[in-house]
Amino acid sequence: MMTRSLIVQRISRWLAPFIFIYGLQVILYGHLSPGGGFPGGVILASAFILILISRGKEEAGRRLPLSRAGRFDNTGALVFLAVGLLGFVLGGSFLANFLQRLFPGRPFSLLSSGTIPVNNLAIGLKIWGGIFLAVLFLSVLRVGGDPDRGLKTMEEE
């Protein structure tokens, strides 16, 4: 196992939680301020990708195991689909915003605009798991069979 720079490890350990919280904020306030499920999910995944790059895929795999990331991906997709089907049953058309019609919240407040925050959460969860899985697998796969070669060349530069 090669050595990673102590500074990079320390800074990334401090930075990752803040990136994670920022991602959560982008998802939760997606219907009020710029953001939403897609960018927020990518930011959430990037917190873990930072750990993956700076501290290795073993550490990142401990923080977010493959199986759990896969479950996030599946759950997000299924919740989005379930909301769409519920809209068909309760709102009359597929993906109808039935919650907004049933409980119209105060505009500009966190609990408003019906199914939009729910879908944002689902998409965020889905993108988080999916992007992390893709990057993890791409980092494991190296032509020539040395999975850490990419990280080594990165450190030497």
Partner 1 sequence: MTVLLLSLLLFMIIAAVIALYTEELISAVIAAGAVGFGSSAVFLLLRAPDLAITQIVVEVIALVLLIRTTLHLSGRGVGEGPSGPRVRAAGLFCLAVLVSVLFALPRLPRFGEPVMDRIAAAPSGFYLERGLELTGSANLVTAILLDFRAYDTLGEATIIFTAVLGALTLLSRKCLTSCPAGREEEGER
Residues 6 or more apart whose CB falls under 8 angstroms from that of 144 comprise none
Stretch touching partner 1 by CB under 8 A, among 8-16, 18-26, 45-53, 92-100: 92-100
**Binding to partner 1 by residue 2, rule CB under 8 A?**
no
Alpha-carbon gap, residue 58 to 36, rounded angstroms:
30
Length of the chain: 157
Q: Is 23 in the site for partner 1 (CB under 8 A)?
A: no
Positive or negative torsion for Cα 59, 78, 42, 28: negative
Which residues make up the interface to partner 1 (CB under 8 A)?
A: 30-38, 57, 61, 65-67, 70, 73, 76-77, 80-81, 84, 94-95, 97, 100, 104-105, 107-108, 112-116, 119-120, 123, 126-127, 130-131, 133-134, 136-138, 140-142, 145-148
